[in-house]
């Protein structure tokens, strides 16, 4: 069976950056928040947001073609399920993540994708004068914005991972590269006999989310270089960590885990896994992002299994959670 290709579809793909920019603009203006209580016209929204009504209408009309908002016969715009995560106070808010993706730290390297493909090297350091994470650590605006964006993205994954995995009754869980601790917080709230350690860079963990009464006395925060030495523990969480690093560095991190883990401990590599075939998948998109920013990459399940076994661990189970998260559990071989 042949599929007819609509004329102009390739041009629409080439103009995809306009959709990204429109989505980022709507997030900045808080359009989803203003539509939470009901539909409003572009003129009403413009008065609220201090924007130009006709231009705002054109922006929202364009987004409605992708299912982000819906325009009715009276030219009012409605909140849609796809637009719901653009709300700042939505339980599944992605607003901060969408905003961070509109920053020049992502856009400028993407414009140089052809250079990356030619050289096999990310162009981020050439553009910004420092490797990605070093740049973020030294930038008082981009660094916190990145942390906020990643916290928003990770929040969607954390509760699903907590529900999908059978954590033991008593253990110390160490969240390596855990950002602000959203996943660890979710696990400790659901498993009151567990204790936890959040481990990441100093500028990241200082904004952790663990300090609440229900978790009192059950957590600690440490910072340092996870390639060198990590805290002792029973279960190591490595959520969305491996994608940022090449194979050699992932092996170094696994070696650090092996040196610190308890005799019956486990590591949980949590990441999107690229499936075979030609269907769209978030991992294939994030892989291009990683290619422009870092030396890391998204991986297939056999690639993850190879990394893990070569480091002296055995994969004991694989738990698909969502397109953005598969739990790969491993124990010492």
How many CB atoms lie under 10 A from the CB of residue 110? 16
For residue 1, pLDDT over 60 is answered with: no
- Give the pLDDT band (50/70/90) at residue 48: very high
pLDDT at 295: 95
pLDDT tens for 59-71 read: 999 999 999 999 9
Check if the beta carbon of residue 174 is closer than 8 Å to that of residue 197: yes
pLDDT in tens, 94-128: 999 999 999 999 999 999 999 999 999 999 999 99
- pLDDT at residue 2 above 60? no
Count of alpha carbons within 13 Å of 129, Cβ hemisphere only?
3
pLDDT value at 5 more than 80: no
| Residue for token pair 């414009």 | 111
Conformational region of residue 209, where left means phi above 0, alpha means psi within -120 to 50, and beta covers everything else: alpha
* Residue 39: closest CA among 62, 60, 65, 18: 60
Indicate if the pLDDT at residue 134 is higher than 80.
yes
pLDDT band at 4 (very low <50, low <70, confident <90, very high): low
Taken in order 278, 95, 157, 78, the sign of the CA dihedral is negative
- Predicted confidence (pLDDT) at residue 207 exceeds the cutoff of 90: no
Q: Answer whether residue 333 shows pLDDT above 90.
A: no
Predicted pLDDT at 203: 83
pLDDT in tens, 293-318: 999 999 999 999 999 999 999 999 99
329: how many CB neighbours lie within 10 A of its CB?
Answer: 20
Average pLDDT over residues 247-272: 95
Strongest mean pLDDT among 4-8, 60-64, 165-169, 200-204: 60-64
Mean pLDDT for all residues in the chain: 94
Q: Give me the pLDDT at residue 228, please.
A: 87
From the list 56, 79, 268, 19, the residue with the least C-alpha distance to 166 is 268
Domains parsed from the chain with CATH numbers: 9-89 (1.10.10.10), 104-332 (3.40.50.150)
- Give Cβ neighbours of residue 128 (< 8 Å, ≥ 6 apart): 105, 108, 135
Q: Would you say 231 and 199 are in contact if contact means Cβ atoms under 8 Å apart?
A: yes
In this prediction, residue 250 carries a pLDDT of 96
What is the distance between the alpha carbons of residues 130 and 138, in angstroms, rounded to a whole number?
10
pLDDT of residue 152: 85
Q: Characterize the bridge pairing of strands 233-239 and 325-332.
A: unpaired
Q: Which pLDDT score, from 0 to 100, does residue 3 have? A: 60
Lowest-pLDDT range, 4-13, 173-182, 200-209? 4-13
For 140-149, what is each residue's pLDDT tens digit?
A: 999 888 888 8
pTM: 0.89
Cβ atoms within 10 Å of 173's Cβ, excluding its own: 26
Q: List, for residues 74-90, the tens digit of each pLDDT value.
A: 999 999 999 999 999 99
């Amino acid at each position: 069976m042949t599929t007819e290709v609509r004329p102009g579809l390739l041009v629409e793909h080439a103009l995809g950056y306009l959709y990204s920019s429109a989505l980022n603009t709507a997030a900045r203006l808080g359009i989803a928040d203003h539509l939470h209580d009901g539909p409003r016209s572009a003129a009403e929204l413009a008065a609220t947001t201090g924007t130009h009504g006709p231009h705002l209408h054109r922006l929202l009309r364009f987004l409605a073609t992708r299912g982000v908002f819906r325009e009715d016969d009276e030219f009012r715009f409605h909140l849609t399920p796809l637009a719901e995560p653009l709300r700042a106070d939505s339980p599944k808010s992605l607003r901060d993540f969408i905003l961070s993706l509109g920053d020049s730290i992502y856009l400028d390297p993407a414009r140089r994708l052809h250079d990356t493909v030619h050289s096999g090297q990310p162009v981020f350091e050439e553009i910004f004068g420092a490797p990605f994470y070093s740049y973020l650590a030294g930038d008082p605006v981009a660094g916190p914005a990145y942390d906020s964006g990643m916290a928003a993205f990770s929040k969607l994954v954390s509760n699903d991972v907590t529900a999908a995995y059978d954590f033991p009754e008593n253990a110390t869980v160490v969240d390596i590269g855990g950002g602000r601790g959203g996943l660890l917080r979710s696990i400790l709230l659901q498993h009151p006999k567990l204790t936890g350690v959040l481990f990441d860079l100093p500028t990241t963990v200082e904004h952790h989310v663990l300090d609440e009464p229900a978790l009192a006395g059950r957590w600690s925060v440490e910072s340092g270089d996870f390639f060198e030495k990590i805290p002792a523990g029973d279960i190591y969480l490595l959520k969305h960590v491996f994608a940022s690093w090449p194979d050699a560095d992932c092996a170094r991190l696994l070696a650090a885990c092996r040196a610190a883990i308890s005799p019956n401990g486990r590591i949980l590599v949590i990441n999107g896994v690229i499936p075979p075939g030609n269907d769209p998948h978030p991992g294939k998109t994030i892989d291009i992002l990683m290619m422009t920013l870092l030396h890391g990459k998204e991986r297939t399940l056999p690639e993850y299994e190879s990394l893990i076994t070569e480091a002296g661990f055995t994969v004991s189970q694989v738990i698909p959670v969502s397109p953005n998260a598969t739990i790969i559990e491993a124990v010492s071989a």
